[in-house]
A and B are shown apart, each in its own frame.
Chain A
Amino acid sequence: MDAREPGHYIEAIPCPVWSDVTSPGVSGPAWEEFDTDCTTVFWIAVPTTESKRMRSYHLAPPTGPSETSALAVTLDATEDSTNGLTALEMAAAMKDEMAFVRAANEIDWSQRSAADFARSVRLALGTGAHELARRLAAQGSRLHPEHPELQKMGRVLAPPRVVRTGLPPVPSLSLNHDWLRTHRDEYRGQWVALKDGILLQTAATARQLWANLKSTPGVLITKVN
């Protein structure tokens, strides 16, 4: 397909208003198979690229039978009184991770308040944009070192890091694995405590098991599944 063909950019966006409406007989946005009994409407949205500051969705009329006429929804970062945060909120409400990331990339974060960063990190986490949440938390905590929540976000979402290397091995690990393989059926559903391949305790909950152990270092506790 030619990369400039309109179809290349077309994406089907379920209308959020009716997102809970079921569509019997329709498994996807294949209009030639559109069932006349169906009540779900798919909008064909063609993102334009005239302006990097403007996110505009021209909604083409659906090619299947529908009572919905073509509507135009424009998300304009320059006219948005919240300077783009509304677009983030909308994308988050639709659980649209891609739209969320696109909207976030159009915001000039260098001038944003600590509250905006904190709100956006939470929205990103709720949308599943975990890498973006980390990036915003890092930038926000750098720009607003006085803001406790952003500092916490920056710390919790930071990339994992190696704290210590060269720790001694535990040669008896395989003994615990052997015990679990051998006794799995007998103890299924129970919490067990093992050390060097020897069963120390069993209990219905991890808390009970932990409380019954005389010593915990080096003891493997796990639920037998």
Chain B
Amino acid sequence: MLHFEDGRPFSQGASVFSYRPATEQDTTPRIIVSVQIEDVCTESAVDTGGVYLVCDPEIADLLELDLRDGLDATKLLIRGVEVRGALHRVSLTLLAQQGQSLELEVTAFIPCLQSDEPWYLPPVMGLVGCLERLRFAVDPTTDMFYFGSIGGHG
């Protein structure tokens, strides 16, 4: 794990990440890590320029979220396209290969698509509403993603 000079831990967990395009249409590689959203283990891209946890609608379908708990009719600009959906509070666990896994409560955007509307993106963790209260670091020489709590719960 990573530590500050005074010995305090910078991170509590680390996991290997894939460095590859997030979709078939992309050519730019992304950092993709293993996560658990509610009870579903899946992969998620890291996008520090994004907001919220943008959830793949097919994954969201498995989460059995109570629609009454969400803020519906919200629009989010994703890759230049305005997407309609709802905001929910969900559990997101960063899965560690080494050290400790970390469970967060984050804001997730669940796209609401028309029946014939395709979706190409995996779940994407943005900064605002998702990763903003964590320390994280990337080691491109070992493809390791380090993460840690900034101290205390909440």
Contact = CB atoms under 8 A, between A and B. Distances in A.
Interface of A: 122, 125-126, 128, 130-131, 134, 152-153, 155-171, 173-174, 176-177, 180-181, 188-189, 191, 205-207, 210, 216-223, 225
Interface residues of B, number: 61
B101 A167 contact: yes
19 contacts: A152-B71, A153-B71, A156-B89, A158-B89, A162-B102, A162-B103, A162-B154, A165-B153, A166-B12, A166-B100, A167-B100, A173-B15, A176-B34, A181-B18, A206-B59, A216-B40, A221-B41, A223-B56, A225-B22
Given A159-B132, A161-B133, A174-B97, A125 B41 contact: no
Contacts of A134: 129
Nearest to A224: B24
Nearest to B96: A169
B48 interface: no
A219 B39 CA distance: 10
Nearest to A191: B58
Nearest to B12: A165
B100 A130 contact: no
A171 B91 CA distance: 21
B104 A162 contact: yes
Given A164-B102, A220-B42, A221-B40, A171 B23 contact: no
A171 B43 contact: no
B39 A216 contact: yes
Contacts of B70: 156
Given A181-B18, A206-B62, A222-B42, A125 B75 contact: yes
B77 A161 contact: no
B130 A160 contact: yes
Contacts of B58: 191, 205-207, 223
Given A160-B130, A161-B154, A169 B107 contact: no
Nearest to A221: B42
Given A162-B102, A169-B13, 6 more contacts: A160-B107, A160-B131, A170-B96, A180-B18, A219-B41, A220-B42
The interface residues of chain A, by DSSP majority, are classed as mixed
A158 B130 CA distance: 10
A160 B51 CA distance: 12
Interface in B28-84: 34, 39-43, 51-52, 56, 58-59, 61-62, 69-71, 73-75, 77
Nearest to A205: B58
Given A131-B128, A156-B89, A162 B149 contact: yes
B88 A156 contact: yes
Kindly list the 8 A-B residue pairs having the minimum CB-CB distance in the complex, ordered from nearest: A167-B101, A206-B58, A164-B103, A169-B96, A160-B106, A173-B97, A163-B103, A161-B154
A225 B59 CA distance: 15
A225 B101 contact: no
A167 B16 contact: no
Nearest to A219: B41
B26 to A, nearest CB: 8
A214 B77 CA distance: 38
Nearest to B25: A225
Contacts of B61: 206-207
A216 B51 CA distance: 29
A181 B16 CA distance: 13
Nearest to B87: A156
Interface string B83-123: 00001110101011111111111110000000000001010
Contacts of B71: 125, 152-153, 156-157
